[in-house]
Chains A and B, each alone.
Chain A
């Protein structure tokens, strides 16, 4: 045995480990399982996972600092909504750097316009449904809120309508393309440096968590780590709820719909345990949005997410990858959801139009609520798999 060989063997193990995690994309089904588990861990730690709430907090903060809102929102630094979304962005950014997938990606003008329009629609839809595809659908269904199921139906309808628009656009509008600059400039080779920057970005997040902990904000710090875990998982698996609802109509591919069904089932089982045992309140993440807000908000959100090419979580992680179109979508999402929510809240009529708070176990017991959710998700799993073979729902161009 030559002692000098030891470090190089260890290096090889490290390098091959790094390549496994950050070179190859992870399979989508693994993303589904990990997101289901992270959802339960996040709820057990503090609260359910959400994305739109954080964007709204940023929008509220912006409007109050320019003097449009009289009331100041909770500081984005300690709002749990804001921290979860910040963590998602942070984790996706770090993960994109570590995978050498970060680049400022410009897009043609039409695409930028679609980012703005899609983001605005998603902001309106999530204000109506009590959350985006995450808080309004994924976490809400897990929390056994009937509004989550209403939103799922709305998202499917919206995804179909959005796709019809894209087909129309393909025939009638020139999409253009971007001239790619030759990246042979002298100086720094960014791709080589990205992984080191990514490691620094993630270490900085751990330092931030430690600072929160020092200042007695351990709960917030932990949520930052949860958000970062979501960011890494989602960026590595390219987990995309838009795909989950669009693909059955576009290509018929069913990997993503199946991964979402798996994630919801795991998450719902965990939420049921946490709520039934009294560890968490029964009304948590049961928004007043059954059925009008959930369904119609879902349709509007669904159209927006397909046009933008990213949902609540998807726009944020792609923004973290440097895509200008999705950065615009996130900004307009934050602004429009803040304004629209403020408008709904200012009117008792609009608030009641959105619907009721329906916690399913209050009507059909925990057992039947869980069975119903699992049956719906299994049905989605099976129907999309069948559709992949038969292409019954696929819309031809």
Chain B
């Protein structure tokens, strides 16, 4: 689902715990234009609920998440 998508920006949140990943996502999404894709790398287990929930709440398009070795990759497409 998240294969083959080239993100416009990548946010490395590995090692950060709640609420820092979400705050960084909030800040990064604000800078992106509608339709651009934000990639997030994270290790906090709470993010698996928080990031999709936050994207949906903001009206952005949560494209999916994928477990890599030792961290998780999330993709959000900024809504209009």
Contacts and interface: CB of A to CB of B under 8 A. Distances in A.
B24 interface: yes
B34 interface: no
Contact of A177 (B16, B22, B46): B16
Given A183-B69, A251-B54, A397-B26, A101 B20 contact: no
B15 interface: yes
Interface residues of B, number: 26
Interface string A9-31: 00000000000000001000000
Interface in A271-320: 306, 309, 318
A225 to B, nearest CB: 25
Contacts of B20: 111, 166, 175, 309
A3 interface: no
A170 B24 contact: yes
Given A175-B16, A177-B13, A170 B57 contact: no
Contacts of B54: 251, 253
Given A111-B20, A182-B69, A397 B30 contact: yes
Contacts of A318: 17
Nearest to B44: A105
A135 B24 CA distance: 32
A321 interface: yes
A309 B19 contact: yes
A105 B19 contact: no
Contacts of A240: 18
Contacts of A397: 23, 26-27, 30
Contacts of A242: 19
A341 interface: no
A247 to B, nearest CB: 9
B71 A180 contact: yes
B71 to A, nearest CB: 5
Interface in B2-46: 12-20, 22-24, 26-27, 30, 43-46
Contacts, number: 82
A108 B13 CA distance: 10
A201 interface: no
A250 B23 contact: yes
A178 B57 CA distance: 29
B46 to A, nearest CB: 6
A359 to B, nearest CB: 36
Contact of A182 (B26, B45, B46, B70): B70
Contact of A251 (B12, B14, B22, B70): B22
A242 B46 CA distance: 13
A321 B45 contact: yes
Nearest to A167: B23
Contacts of A167: 23
11 contacts: A25-B49, A111-B15, A111-B20, A166-B23, A167-B23, A170-B24, A183-B69, A238-B49, A252-B57, A323-B17, A397-B30
Given A238-B46, A306-B19, 18 more contacts: A25-B49, A101-B45, A105-B17, A106-B15, A107-B16, A111-B15, A170-B23, A178-B15, A179-B14, A180-B69, A181-B70, A184-B69, A250-B23, A250-B26, A309-B19, A309-B20, A397-B27, A397-B30
Interface of B: 12-20, 22-24, 26-27, 30, 43-46, 49, 53-54, 57, 69-71
- Top-6 shortest CB links A-B: A178-B15, A180-B70, A177-B12, A177-B14, A183-B70, A183-B69
